[in-house]
């Protein structure tokens, strides 16, 4: 390399200057001898690690056992569930620093494709596994354990001064923001369409100002999936709208990526309307509307969401590869997920609704019994 460096000094100079690595100049980055090494040097620059080892806890023995566990856990799937699994991984790393957890979020469907090809240990999902996906898994000989970990609730909002509206049905919501509501500027306009769809809700004579998540948001997708899609498909069959429009909203509203902007928008006009993830409503000065999903009006509260009565909510799952569940690293990670730290702290840290105690118990039991299938 020395003689080469003299003659091709300029090439060497680029190597040094650009890679900003001292090693890149004299050595061979990507040299063949380096491949195949799997040693994992301890991450000494990790402040969280020392904090965790210094913390004396009740289950010190268990913690010590966890710190001996090594291996890797590969997780992929829903980008909605991704933050929970990441939060669990962060907390888990403090107690089991030698386990390398990788979390990715390409989407529920893509996640199941990888999972059923045996490429991931755990698949995050914002819905239950579909029959076709389960068949693909079965064909590949992959058995799974379904674990419900949390709930993603969506709050439907209006202004505090909008006293005329308290509860809306799915038909009403479709009439306000569905694809057929383009151009509606008054609640009355939506009321006429809602009446056509069989709703008996009375709408006020108020200007309709919609501020809601845009198409890039997961909350937007969830709202369509839960509320609009079903009615949209029926309307498409009836010929009122085209097939392409069945799973969309009206395009003419103020869309915002920032939930706080949406809440400000809702607070800014008397006849406002919008929706955000339930966790973001906190103590905001907005009115949470009750929603009638066919079984009467239910207000959005942590209890009704966790209990499954509030209709604009969906469960979040992780699917564990049953064969990989025997692996020390994978089982330690899922054990941690199933603890209070996982199902309670991690879920609420990233803004989702924690399961009821009973539902948590079911999840934990399913895991401990390694219950195969849904």
Nearest distance in Å: CB 293, other proteins: 24
| Residue 104 contacts other proteins per CB under 8 A | yes
Evaluate whether 299 touches 311 at the Cβ level (below 8 Å): no
Evaluate whether 72 touches 43 at the Cβ level (below 8 Å): no
| Residue 291 contacts other proteins per CB under 8 A | no
Comparing CB distances to other proteins, the nearer of 33 and 200 is 33
Contact pattern from residue 33 through residue 62 relative to other proteins, giving x for each residue in contact according to CB under 8 A and a dash for the rest:
-xxxxxxxx-x-x-xx--------------
Nearest distance in Å: CB 353, other proteins: 14
DSSP-assigned states of every residue in 39-63: -----TT-HHHHHHHH---TTHHHH
At 186 the three-state DSSP class reads strand
139: which DSSP letter? H
At 331 the three-state DSSP class reads helix
Of 66, 69, 86, 312, the residue at the interface with other proteins (CB under 8 A) is 86
| Residue 257 contacts other proteins per CB under 8 A | yes
| Residue 140 contacts other proteins per CB under 8 A | no
Strand partners, 151: 315, 353
Q: Give the footprint of other proteins on residues 302-361 (CB under 8 A).
A: 349-351
343: which DSSP letter? I
Comparing CB distances to other proteins, the nearer of 117 and 163 is 117
Beta strands in the chain (DSSP E): 71-77, 99-103, 122-125, 144-158, 167-169, 209-213, 254-256, 272-277, 287-288, 290-292, 297-298, 313-321
Of 69, 93, 125, 176, the residue at the interface with other proteins (CB under 8 A) is 93
Nearest distance in Å: CB 74, other proteins: 8
Binding part of the chain for other proteins, among 7-15, 177-185, 264-272, 314-322 by CB under 8 A, reads: 7-15
Nearest distance in Å: CB 71, other proteins: 10
Comparing CB distances to other proteins, the nearer of 77 and 178 is 77
Evaluate whether 169 touches 333 at the Cβ level (below 8 Å): no
| Residue 102 contacts other proteins per CB under 8 A | yes
At 354 the three-state DSSP class reads coil
CB atoms within 10 A of CB 309: 16
- Rule CB under 8 A: which residues touch other proteins? 10-11, 13-15, 17-24, 29-31, 34-41, 43, 45, 47-48, 72-75, 79, 82-87, 89-90, 93, 99-106, 213, 216-219, 257-260, 277, 349-351
């Amino acid at each position: 390399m020395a003689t080469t460096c003299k003659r091709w000094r300029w090439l060497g100079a680029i190597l040094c200057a650009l890679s900003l690595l001292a090693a890149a100049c004299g050595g061979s980055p990507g040299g063949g001898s380096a491949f195949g090494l799997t040693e994992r040097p301890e991450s000494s620059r990790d402040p969280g690690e020392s904090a965790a080892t210094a913390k004396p806890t009740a289950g010190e023995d268990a913690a010590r056992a966890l710190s001996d566990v090594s291996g890797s856990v590969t997780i992929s799937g829903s980008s909605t569930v991704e933050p929970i699994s990441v939060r669990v991984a962060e907390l888990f790393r403090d107690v089991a620093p030698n386990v390398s957890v990788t979390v990715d979020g390409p989407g529920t469907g893509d996640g199941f494709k990888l999972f059923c090809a045996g490429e991931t240990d755990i698949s995050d999902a914002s819905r239950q596994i579909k029959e076709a996906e389960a068949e693909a898994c079965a064909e590949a000989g992959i058995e799974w354990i379904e674990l419900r970990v949390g709930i993603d609730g969506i709050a439907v909002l209006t202004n505090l001064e909008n006293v005329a509206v308290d509860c809306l049905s799915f038909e009403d919501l479709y009439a306000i923001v569905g694809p057929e509501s383009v151009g509606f500027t008054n609640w009355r306009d939506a009321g006429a369409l809602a009446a056509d769809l069989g709703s008996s809700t009375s709408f006020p004579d108020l200007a309709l100002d919609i501020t809601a998540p845009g198409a890039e948001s997961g909350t937007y997708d969830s709202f369509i999936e839960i509320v609009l899609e079903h009615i949209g498909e029926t309307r498409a069959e009836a010929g009122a709208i085209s097939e392409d429009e069945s799973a969309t909203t009206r395009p003419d509203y103020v869309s915002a990526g920032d939930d706080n902007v949406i809440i400000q928008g809702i607070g800014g006009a008397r006849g406002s309307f919008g929706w955000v993830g339930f966790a973001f409503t906190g103590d905001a000065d907005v009115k949470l509307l009750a929603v009638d999903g066919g079984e009467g009006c239910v207000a959005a509260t942590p209890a009704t969401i966790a209990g499954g009565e509030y209709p604009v909510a969906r469960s979040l799952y992780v699917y564990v590869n049953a064969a990989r569940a025997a692996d020390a690293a994978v089982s330690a990670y899922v054990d941690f997920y199933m603890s209070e730290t996982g199902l309670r702290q991690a879920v609420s840290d990233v803004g989702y609704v924690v399961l009821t105690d009973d539902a948590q118990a079911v999840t934990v039991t399913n895991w401990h019994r390694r219950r195969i299938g849904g």
